[in-house]
């Protein structure tokens, strides 16, 4: 194991001609424009090795690479952005490392030392810091991922892997509030499966039911439990939160994470922030029936998805068993708007980083 003060050697192969002139900060499509470089490491002969930063480009991969056949792959999503001090900062990167390692364990992928992840990440962003956009609501999206690269068709954990980090400047993810449908037929994840690992197969399995929902006029789905479709789990690719006010008390409720729900870093942060601001937060099972009743009796004041890409994505309509329910106007949503404003202020250094979440590159 590397010690916490060990510097790894990273071979840097710089691009000859930067593509930064092609970036229009006022018109950045999500996930379409990629920065100049990427970080690569290989796992072979029992250890992670060969650390390098090279120009972003295509990979040479065998058709028999294990990941193409058995989906042994995991990834993370995180962001870098400028704060008001003109510093490039990261939001809780060690939490992304920890979650990546949990995904490694579930998918039988060899873990790596934190120094490999953190030093490769920071050096890559430092080299490509000109790609961090400064326009309102924009950021540099960061995609670390690991996949099985061994040329082998046997069904077993691979013995060779690649770890890659690449980045892309992005604008606002969900610019508009979303319409969602409660899914009661298809399943995102079942107990005992890989729902709490950030692995590609989870997302592939969600594409078809999401496509059907979009054809019906919804933006995304609210996933329910695999056994009874009785309890709410996630919203699309995000965790979900509700604000219920019964006249005596206003509280935030959110499903607990477990082996079917991904433990979101934004979710975790918003829960800590909400409690610090004096809000009551309940992490407990949330039934579809409870939410439908709260909508009908007008005690459901807010519903929103939370995640890296959108931070907070407001839900304006929920479809339940053929009935569409409109939710309160966005401007009336005191809790989520307060949380978003406070989190943005912490990330931009407008107020004190009292949780020590931000890390400068």
**Residue 22 scores a pLDDT above 80:** yes
d(CA 244, CA 53): 48
| Among 55, 35, 48, 40, residue whose Cα is nearest residue 10 | 40
Report the pLDDT averaged over residues 26-38.
92
For residue 260, CA distances in Å to 75, 108, 224, 304 come to 17, 18, 10, 19
Q: Is the pLDDT score of 155 beyond 90?
A: yes
DSSP 6: P
Residue carrying the six token digits 């000109």: 130
pLDDT for the residue 4: 52
Say if CB 342 and CB 270 are below 8 A apart. no
- pLDDT for 309 equals 81
DSSP string, 145-205: EEEE--B--SSS--S-EEEEEEEEEE--S--S-EEEEE-SSS-S--TTSSTTS-BHHHHHH
Share of the chain above pLDDT 90, in %: 90
Q: Which long-range contacts (CB under 8 A, 24 or more apart) does 313-316 make?
A: 313/173, 313/174, 313/177, 313/178, 313/235, 313/238, 314/177, 314/178, 315/177, 315/178, 315/179, 315/180, 315/235, 315/240, 316/177, 316/178, 316/179
pLDDT at 214 over 90: yes
List, as own/partner pairs, every contact residues 358-361 make where C-beta atoms lie below 8 angstroms and the sequence separation is at least 24, other chains included.
358/83, 358/89, 358/90, 358/91, 359/89, 359/90, 359/91, 359/92, 359/93, 359/94, 360/87, 360/88, 360/89, 360/90, 361/80, 361/87, 361/88, 361/89, 361/90, 361/122, 361/125, 361/126, 361/129
Closest to 22 in 3D by CA, of 125, 168, 174: 168
Alpha-carbon span 338 to 278, nearest angstrom: 12
72 pLDDT more than 60: yes
Q: Using the predicted structure, report yes or no on whether residue 232 has a pLDDT greater than 90.
A: yes
Whether the per-residue pLDDT at 44 is higher than 70: the answer is: yes
Question: In the prediction, which pLDDT does 107 show?
Answer: 98
- Full DSSP string of 34-71: --SEEEEEEEETTEEEEEEEEES-PPP--TTBHHHHH-
Instruction: Write out pLDDT tens, residues 303-336.
Output: 999 998 889 999 999 999 999 999 999 999 999 9
Q: Average pLDDT in the 148-156 region?
A: 96
- C-alpha–C-alpha distance, residues 143 and 269, integer Å: 20
Q: According to DSSP H, which parts of the chain are helical?
A: 66-70, 93-106, 114-127, 200-215, 265-276, 288-296, 334-347
Q: What CA–CA distance (Å, rounded) separates 103 from 75?
A: 8
Mean pLDDT, residues 81-87 taken together: 96
* Residue scoring higher pLDDT (85 or 250): 85
Q: Is the pLDDT of residue 108 over 60?
A: yes
Task: Give the residue among 108, 105, 90 at the shortest CA–CA distance from 165.
Answer: 90
What integer pLDDT is reported at residue 26 of this predicted model? Answer: 87
Q: Say yes or no to pLDDT of 13 above 80.
A: yes
| pLDDT band (50, 70, 90) for residue 270 | very high
Grade residue 250 by pLDDT with cuts at 50, 70 and 90.
confident
| Mean pLDDT confidence for 179-198 | 95
**pLDDT tier for residue 175 given thresholds of 50, 70 and 90:** low
Domains of the chain, start order? 11-170 (3.30.470.10), 178-347 (3.20.10.10)
State how far the alpha carbon of 277 is from the alpha carbons of 86, 242, 342, in Å: 27, 17, 9
Q: Are 134 and 25 in contact (CB under 8 A)?
A: yes
User: To which H or E segment does residue 79 belong?
Assistant: strand 78-82
The average pLDDT across 240-245 equals 97
Of 177, 137, 171, 173, nearest in space to 332 by CA = 177
How many C-beta atoms surround the C-beta of residue 286 within 10 A? 21
Say how far apart CA 203 and CA 223 lie, in whole Å.
12
CA distance 358 to 349: 9
What is the spatial distance between Cα 361 and Cα 351, in angstroms, rounded to a whole number? 19
pLDDT confidence of residue 132: 97
Contact between 261 and 195 under an 8 Å Cβ cutoff? The reply is yes
């Amino acid at each position: 194991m590397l010690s916490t003060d060990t510097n790894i050697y990273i071979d840097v192969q710089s691009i000859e001609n930067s593509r930064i002139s092609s970036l229009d900060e006022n018109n950045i499509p999500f996930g379409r424009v990629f920065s100049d470089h990427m970080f690569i490491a290989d796992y072979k002969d029992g250890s992670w090795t060969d650390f390098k930063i090279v120009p972003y480009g295509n990979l040479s991969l065998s058709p028999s690479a294990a990941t193409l056949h058995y989906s042994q792959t995991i990834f993370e999503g995180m962001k870098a952005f400028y704060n008001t001090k003109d510093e490039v900062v990261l939001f809780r990167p060690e939490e992304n490392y920890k979650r990546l390692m949990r995904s490694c364990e579930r998918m039988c992928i060899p873990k790596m030392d934190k120094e490999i992840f953190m030093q490769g990440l920071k050096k890559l962003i430092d080299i490509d810091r000109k790609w961090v956009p400064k326009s309102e609501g924009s950021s540099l999206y960061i995609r670390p991922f690991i996949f099985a690269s061994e040329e082998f068709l046997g069904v077993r954990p691979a013995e060779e892997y690649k770890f890659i980090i690449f980045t892309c400047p992005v604008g606002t993810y969900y610019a508009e509030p979303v319409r969602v449908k409660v899914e009661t037929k298809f399943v995102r994840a079942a107990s005992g499966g890989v729902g709490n690992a950030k692995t590609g197969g989870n997302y592939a399995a969600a594409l078809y039911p999401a496509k059907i929902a979009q054809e019906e006029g919804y933006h995304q789905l609210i996933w329910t439990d695999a056994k009874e479709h009785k309890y709410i789990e996630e919203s699309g690719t995000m965790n979900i939160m509700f604000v219920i006010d019964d006249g005596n008390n206003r509280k935030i409720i959110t499903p607990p994470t477990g082996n079917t729900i991904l433990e979101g870093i934004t979710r975790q942060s918003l829960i800590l922030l909400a409690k610090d601001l004096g809000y009551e937060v309940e992490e407990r099972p949330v039934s579809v029936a409870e939410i439908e009743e709260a909508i009908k009796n007008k005690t459901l004041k807010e519903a929103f998805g939370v995640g890296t890409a959108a931070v907070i994505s407001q839900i304006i309509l929920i479809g339940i068993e053929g009935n569409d329910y409109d939710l309160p106007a966005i401007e009336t949503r005191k809790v989520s708007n307060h949380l978003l404003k406070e989190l943005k202020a912490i990330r931009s250094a407008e107020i004190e980083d009292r949780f020590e979440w931000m890390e400068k590159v």
